[in-house]
Amino acid sequence: DAKTTQPPSMDCAEGRAANLPCNHSTISGNEYVYWYRQIHSQGPQYIIHGLKNNETNEMASLIITEDRKSSTLILPHATLRDTAVYYCIVSDLYNQGGKLIFGQGTELSVKP
Amino acid sequence: DAGVTQSPTHLIKTRGQQVTLRCSPKSGHDTVSWYQQALGQGPQFIFQYYEEEERQRGNFPDRFSGHQFPNYSSELNVNALLLGDSALYLCASSLAETGRQETQYFGPGTRLLVL
């Protein structure tokens, strides 16, 4: 079973920041938080991952709370092309092998 | 830089048949993982291959088998197809590095329909 909880759906206005929450209260010390997104009928696209510090790349920012029990993915200026299902995954891909456990994700709709 | 590629893109089979799906990893990657995604669900891990051996396996029956070749490409074989095997089959590649997280990058998938 997935170790994360996400809202099933969210809306965001084009050009505004999209903030996608994720709860992972049972995360263990070596587990990272990964975010992927999947645009309809395509393969999942890697976005970002982090352990305990906040992370930023060209796609998004990842904010992890100090107790590591929750995180937020931020798309700073959402566009229509960001409409997708966003998956938050907790995993230790080094020590636990290559198993990503996907939940249901959050369906983000970016509206004009 | 070529990403992960999969073939074929679509496939139609009938119950009881066998199917082989193929995956070429991203350049520089040596590890291949396979996932099954049923309609409306998140992907489910089938197994992972590294150094031509199955490294880890998910909760899938023995009808699902795989292979990794010396050039790191991989095949997924499914025998005795069932209607429930209809799904998008995803391949993901990564690089095994000591002490580092092996971030996985996915291909576009093969959509299998079993009639």
Which residue spans within A1-112 are E strands per DSSP? 9-13, 18-23, 32-38, 45-50, 55-56, 61-64, 70-75, 84-91, 106-111
**Rg of chain B's alpha carbons, rounded to an integer?**
14
pLDDT band at A45 (very low <50, low <70, confident <90, very high): very high
Question: Chain A residue closest to B87 (CA)?
Answer: A41
Residue A100 has pLDDT above 70, yes or no: yes
Among the residue ranges A53-62, B50-59, B96-105, the one predicted with the least confidence is B96-105
Question: Percentage of chain A with pLDDT > 90?
Answer: 82
Cis peptide before B43 (omega within 30 of 0): no
Interface of B with A (CB under 8 A): 4, 31, 33, 35, 41-45, 48, 50, 55-56, 58, 88, 90, 92, 94, 99-109, 111
Q: Are strands B110-114 and B87-94 parallel, antiparallel or unpaired?
A: antiparallel
Residue B1 has pLDDT above 70, yes or no: no
Q: Which of A86, A99, A101, A102 to mutate to test the interface with B (most CBs of B within 10 A)?
A: A99
User: pLDDT digits over A90-99, tens only?
Assistant: 988 776 667 8
Instruction: Tell me the average pLDDT across B16-21.
Output: 98
* Residue A20 and residue A84 in contact, taking contact as beta carbons nearer than 8 Å: no
Dist. CA B49–CA B31, nearest whole Å: 6
- Chain B residues near residue A99 by CB distance under 8 angstroms: 33, 45, 48, 56, 58
* Residue B112 and residue B35 in contact, taking contact as beta carbons nearer than 8 Å: no
Among the residue ranges A7-21, A72-86, A95-109, B60-74, the one predicted with the least confidence is A95-109
Tell me, yes or no, if A97 comes closer than 8 A to chain B by beta carbon: yes
Dist. CA A89–CA B43, nearest whole Å: 12
- Chain A residues near residue B100 by CB distance under 8 angstroms: 94
Which has the closest alpha carbon to A98: B40, B29, B37? B29
